[in-house]
């Protein structure tokens, strides 16, 4: 499947909002966008018209990680002064892709493959810091043409959603607390579902458009498949890999610890300071930091895994979070796909120990599919970046239009209060539900 690619070239164009450009492509299968927003907005990307696609269903015996590496092919240098991603493979790794590694026999969410990705020879890259658009890759002229696509007017999503029984969720949380106290696990992330149907004439891209306007996040993403779509407004990076001249540097930013935003500046500051001082939330975060350190250590040079940042406060439209950073240097001969294999699924949405937490989750939740998996980009240069698919909606098209489902989870530890954890899921999902309403 892999074939030689010409070295990437760059063409600059006038600034356009990435979400608006994506609207003009959004109904095409394999249209894909990464839309970075908020105070930490950096690079956004829009891509379409791939030259090769890869879907690995649950019953396909092929090794999806080897197939992903083969699709990307041999590493090429980047064009200087360009974006970190100048073409490559991008797409969706569903949560159950982790079953290829742990062999737990996890059921699948109907119709969703374990891996769905495509190879894009060129991309549109949006430099938020310098206010420029760059067409990059082997065929930048093709990407420039996407800027001229007309963008259909947005519709209100007008979705009507109903939540799973809140009492059942609290019962599940209480069960997990009991299993933690019995010593089976230390932490597990347990999620709730909201399901419904989009309004007449509304499309998945309408949700992304509204989220970008009302609740910008650093790792928002959109992927359109034939009769399915994923819209994510994630605040969380999973893993990133960057060449630095001496090899490949790995980086992850797990999120654990949550508090709602306040209604006044004073109340908001008090909630933020309370989160920073919370022993429960700090312990919850530290467990996942330790898990991610262990995952990185499996593929990094011994002694090179470090934690340069612990418990940074990150504030979003509806919640405050605690974020930590773990870094490492990949061992010689290993690349981004080796790190993905070592670390998937993300520790922040499984728990610790990871494998046993996944077993507990599978007994209490419906199959996750795209929820709590990852959207990723694997560049032709060997670089990699990815998000954790939280604050995410999944869509399925049928004769009546688009069905929509979304989920939110909470990290359960020994002193978790079932009602408090349920309220945390409602704080986390509030901005997405408001955008759908």
Contact by Cβ (8 Å): 384, 336? yes
In a domain, 2, yes or no: no
Q: Residue 1: pLDDT above 80?
A: no
At residue 283, what are phi and psi to the nearest 5 degrees? -65, -40
Q: SS3 for 123?
A: strand
The predicted model gives 190-214 an average pLDDT of 95
**200 occurs within a structural domain:** yes
Q: Active-site residue numbers? A: 236, 256
Residue 314 has what pLDDT?
Answer: 85
- The CA distances from residue 123 to 204, 214, 220, 386, in Å, are 21, 26, 17, 17
Whether residue 67 is contained in a domain is answered as: yes
Reply yes or no on whether the pLDDT at 6 is more than 70.
no
Q: How far is CA 418 from CA 144, 146, 148, 190, 366, in A?
A: 51, 48, 51, 11, 19
Outline where DSSP puts E strands in 244-305: 248-252, 255-260
In sequence order, the 6+-apart residues with CB closer than 8 A to the CB of 304 are 328, 329
Give a yes or no: residue 4 inside a domain: no
Mean pLDDT of 404-410: 96
- What CATH number is given to the structural domain containing 183? 3.60.120.10
- Say if 290 falls within a structural domain: yes
Answer yes or no: are the C-beta atoms of 284 and 257 closer than 8 Å.
yes
Number of alpha carbons in the 13 Å side-chain half-sphere of residue 408: 22
Average pLDDT over residues 165-186: 96
Residue 355's domain comprises 9-436
pLDDT at 81: 87
CA distances from 114 to 60, 81, 229, 346, 376 (A): 9, 35, 14, 15, 13
Q: What is the pLDDT of residues 222-277, one digit of tens each?
A: 999 999 999 999 999 999 999 887 889 999 999 888 888 888 999 989 999 999 99
| CA 389 – CA 81 distance, rounded (Å) | 30
Contact criterion met (CB below 8 Å) for 88 and 137: no
pTM of the complete model: 0.93
User: What is the count of structural domains for the chain?
Assistant: 1
**Per-residue model confidence (pLDDT) at position 102:** 87
Q: Is the dihedral of CA 359, 361, 365, 366 positive or negative?
A: negative
Question: pLDDT tens across 48-102, in order?
Answer: 999 999 999 999 999 999 999 999 988 888 888 899 999 999 999 999 999 999 8
Give every CB contact of residue 178 below 8 A, 6+ residues apart in sequence. Answer: none
Report the SS3 class of residue 166.
Answer: helix
Q: Quote the CA–CA distance of 185 and 196 in Å, as a whole number.
A: 33
pLDDT in tens, 274-310: 999 998 889 889 989 999 999 999 999 999 999 999 9
In angstroms, the Cα distances linking 124 to 33, 83, 193, 202 are 9, 10, 34, 25
Nearest C-alpha neighbor of 218 from the set 205, 204, 237, 231? 237
Three-state DSSP at 270 gives helix
């Amino acid at each position: 499947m892999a074939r030689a690619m010409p070295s990437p070239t760059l063409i600059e164009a006038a600034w356009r909002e990435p979400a608006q450009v994506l609207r003009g492509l959004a109904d095409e299968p394999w249209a894909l966008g990464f839309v970075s927003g908020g105070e930490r907005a950096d690079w956004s990307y829009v891509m379409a018209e791939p030259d090769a696609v890869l879907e690995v269903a649950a019953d396909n015996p092929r090794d999806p990680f080897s197939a992903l590496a083969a699709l990307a092919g041999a590493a090429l240098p980047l064009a200087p002064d360009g974006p970190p991603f100048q073409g490559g493979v991008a797409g969706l790794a569903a949560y159950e892709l982790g079953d290829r590694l742990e062999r737990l026999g996890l059921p699948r969410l109907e119709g969703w493959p374990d891996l769905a990705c495509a190879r894009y020879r060129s991309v549109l890259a949006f430099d938020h810091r310098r206010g420029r658009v760059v067409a990059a890759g082997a065929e930048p002229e093709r990407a420039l043409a996407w800027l001229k696509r007309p963008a259909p007017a947005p519709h209100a999503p007008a979705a009507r959603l109903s939540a799973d029984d809140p009492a059942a969720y609290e019962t599940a949380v209480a069960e997990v607390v009991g299993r933690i106290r019995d010593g089976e696990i230390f932490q597990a992330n347990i999620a709730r579902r909201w399901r419904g149907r989009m309004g007449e004439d509304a499309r998945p891209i309408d949700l992304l458009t509204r989220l970008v306007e009302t609740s910008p996040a650093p790792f928002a993403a959109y992927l359109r498949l034939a009769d399915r779509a994923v819209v994510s407004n994630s605040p969380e990076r999973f893993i990133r890999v960057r060449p630095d001249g001496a090899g490949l540097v790995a980086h992850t930013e797990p999120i654990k610890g949550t508090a709602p935003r306040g209604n006044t500046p004073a109340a908001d500051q008090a909630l933020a300071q309370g989160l920073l001082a919370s022993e429960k939330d700090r312990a919850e975060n530290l467990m996942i930091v330790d898990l991610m350190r262990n995952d990185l250590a499996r593929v990094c040079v011994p002694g090179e895994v470090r934690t340069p940042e612990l418990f940074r406060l990150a504030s979003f439209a509806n919640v405050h979070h605690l974020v930590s950073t773990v870094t490492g240097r990949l061992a010689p001969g290993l690349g981004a796909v080796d790190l993905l294999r070592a670390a998937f699924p993300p520790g922040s949405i499984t728990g610790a120990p990871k494998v046993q937490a996944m077993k507990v989750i599978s007994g209490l939740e419906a199959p996750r599919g795209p929820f709590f998996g990852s959207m990723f980009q694997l560049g032709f240069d060997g670089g990699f970046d990815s998000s954790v698919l939280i604050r995410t909606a999944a869509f399925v098209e049928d004769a009546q239009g688009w069905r929509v489902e979304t989920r939110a989870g909470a990290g359960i530890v020994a002193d978790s209060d079932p009602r408090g954890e349920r309220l945390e899921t409602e704080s986390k999902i509030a901005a997405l539900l408001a955008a759908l309403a």
